[in-house]
Amino acid sequence: MSKTLLYGATKVDETNSAYAPVESLAPFQWKNRVFIVFADKDNARAARQENQLLTDRSALDERDLVVLKISGATVRPLFGGADGLDGEAIRRDLEASEIGEFAAFLVGKDGTVKLKVSEPITGGELFAIIDSMPMRAAESLKPDK
């Protein structure tokens, strides 16, 4: 399985696009983390990824996570709300794989890519990655979370 974690750098080169907020997902910045699944509707890996994540909706809600599926240019929210998003712009901004190929990305509340996978990830793995992030640690200290 190919996983690329993109957070935790000790020195951020702000000219590097890997650390720039994803413009096409700006409506979520500072409100939600976004997990995006790219694949055609009949892709078995995408179906497995959806099933992995949607079994624990309370964990998704607790982590302010929105889950989107992008097939071609179509954006379909699987968990959380998402209106008026452009699938082609998101694909371009994330430099995602070809149309029809499976890929998934986690975008943090700061709008930057935190994780890129080419195979489905379990909910437990995803939640552990999110829970290890400094912003999530700070959230868990608040009494309302």
**Does residue 10 register a pLDDT over 50?**
no
Q: What SS3 string covers the chain?
A: CCEEECCCCCCCCCCCHHHCCCHHHHHHCCCCEEEEEECCCCCHHHHHHHHHHHCCHHHHHHCCEEEEEEECCEEEEEECCCCCCCHHHHHHHHCCCCCCCCEEEEECCCCCEEEEECCCCCHHHHHHHHHCCHHHHHHHHCCCC
Express each pLDDT in 31-62 by its tens digit: 999 999 999 878 899 999 999 999 999 999 99
Mean pLDDT of 94-104: 89
Mean pLDDT of 90-115: 93
- Name residue 66's amino acid: V
Rg value, the chain, Cα: 14
Question: Please, which pLDDT band fits residue 4 given cuts at 50, 70 and 90?
Answer: low
**Does residue 131 register a pLDDT over 90?**
yes
Express each pLDDT in 67-82 by its tens digit: 999 998 899 999 998 8
Mean pLDDT over each residue of the chain, to the nearest integer = 86
Question: Chain centroid to CA 54: how far?
Answer: 14
Q: Which domains does the chain have, with CATH numbers?
A: 21-130 (3.40.30.10)
Q: What is the pLDDT of residue 12?
A: 37
Of residues 27, 36, 131, 21, the one with CA closest to residue 79: 36
Rounded CA gap, 102 and 16, in Å? 25
Question: Chain centroid to CA 61: how far?
Answer: 14
Question: Please, which pLDDT band fits residue 6 given cuts at 50, 70 and 90?
Answer: low
Can you give the length of the chain in residues?
A: 145
Question: Please, which pLDDT band fits residue 20 given cuts at 50, 70 and 90?
Answer: confident
